[in-house]
Each structure stands twice: as structure tokens, then as C-alpha cells.
């Protein structure tokens, strides 16, 4: 792993441990990576660039995990829906702080250039997930689980159910059984889809 990647990975570890903060100190970062503080600036122009790199890396890691479910294209609808939904929930649960990045409160602390890049990454992430669920929902139509006569409002309700349930699963004080929760979401999607 390159020194630059080590620095980014250390920032991600700090964010996981302490939450997101613009108060990241180069002294702590340099100590944790075992390099001189000035050496960090050989790889990054500013602290903002380091934070941006770490946030983008976290987003890319999540996208990779969400989109790299083995054999999802050949799975039946129910299996594909549940596999994709489980992965979304796991990532949401493990990375609750990723949601912090996309809140207006946190974004407003970032410089404008970083806000714009994160918005681009957010839209890219959203579009990739939507495309994946379109592929999965088309399986449901093809297999006869979902009616083809859905209007845009009904499609948005189904999408909202999935996203809302993901947020609920990841942001709750109640210990939810993942598989049971996904089964119930699947049942709700089937009811809404008919």
C-alpha cells in the first residue's frame, strides 16, 4: 500500500472511531501513520484534500460492495432482491457515519469544492443503486411477482420503502433481526407491486 493510501486509510479509521470532524489534526494523523507532519503535505495540498480523499474512498468502497454481489444477474427475483437489500443494510449499519457525510449539517462544514464533489458522488451512488434495483424489479415482473402496470408514483413508493427501511435498520436502538427484517420488506414490496 502506498504512503498516500496509508494516510487515507488512517483518516477513515479515525472517522470510524471518532466520527466525522473537520477538527482532524495533522499531528495525530502523522503520529498514527508514523511519519512527519510535513511529509503528509508531500501527498496532499491541504487538510481539506485529505478529508475529501477519505470521504470519496469510503463512498467508493461502499459502492464496490453494493455492486459486487456474485451472480446477482442469474439469481431469481426473491434471491436477488434479498441479497441486494441485505448488502445495503449491512453497509448502512456498519457505516452509519457515511450517512452523516450526506447530511446538510455536515456538508455545510466542508469547503464548497468538496461539497460539490460529494454531491456528484452521491448522485452517482444513487443512480447505481437505482439501476441495480431496476434490474432486480424487472426480474420480478418477468417472473410474475410484480405487476407491469405500475405508475411512477407506485414505483417511487416502492423505492422509498427500500431506502426508508435501510435508514430505519441502520439507525435504530432496537436490535432487529436482519433476515426477518429483509423478509418483511420483501413481503411489503410484493404487496405494493401487485
> Who wins on pLDDT, 186 or 58?
186
Helix (H, G, I), strand (E, B) or coil at 24: coil
Flag the least confident range among 45-49, 93-97, 113-117: 93-97
Per DSSP, the residues of 85-151 read: HHHHHHHHHHTHHHHHHTSHHHHTTS-HHHHHHHHHHHHHHHHHHHHHHHHHHHHHHHTTSS-S---
Flag the least confident range among 31-35, 64-68, 107-111, 133-137: 107-111
Ordered by where they begin, the domains of the chain are 59-192 (1.10.357.10)
- pLDDT on residue 102: 53
Whether 100 has a pLDDT exceeding 60, the answer reads no
Whether 181 has a pLDDT exceeding 90, the answer reads yes
- pLDDT on residue 23: 74
Name the DSSP class of 41.
H
Amino acid at each position: 500500500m502506498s504512503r498516500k493510501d496509508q494516510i487515507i486509510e488512517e483518516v477513515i479509521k479515525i472517522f470510524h472511531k471518532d466520527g466525522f470532524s473537520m477538527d482532524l489534526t495533522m499531528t495525530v494523523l502523522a503520529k498514527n501513520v508514523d511519519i512527519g507532519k510535513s511529509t503528509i503535505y508531500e501527498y496532499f495540498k491541504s487538510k481539506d484534500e485529505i478529508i475529501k480523499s477519505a470521504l470519496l474512498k469510503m463512498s467508493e468502497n461502499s459502492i464496490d460492495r453494493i455492486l459486487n454481489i456474485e451472480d446477482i444477474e442469474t439469481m431469481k427475483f426473491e434471491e436477488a432482491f434479498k441479497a441486494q437489500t441485505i448488502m445495503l443494510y449491512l453497509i448502512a449499519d456498519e457505516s452509519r457515519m457515511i450517512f452523516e457525510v450526506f447530511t446538510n449539517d455536515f456538508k455545510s462544514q466542508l469547503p464548497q469544492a468538496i461539497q460539490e464533489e460529494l454531491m456528484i458522488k452521491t448522485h452517482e451512488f444513487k443512480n447505481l443503486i437505482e439501476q441495480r434495483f431496476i434490474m432486480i424489479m424487472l426480474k420480478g415482473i418477468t417472473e410474475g411477482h410484480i405487476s407491469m402496470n405500475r405508475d411512477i408514483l407506485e414505483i417511487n413508493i416502492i423505492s422509498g420503502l427500500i431506502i426508508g427501511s435501510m435508514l430505519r435498520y441502520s439507525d435504530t436502538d432496537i436490535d432487529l433481526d436482519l433476515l426477518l427484517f429483509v423478509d418483511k420488506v420483501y413481503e411489503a414490496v410484493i404487496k405494493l407491486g401487485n
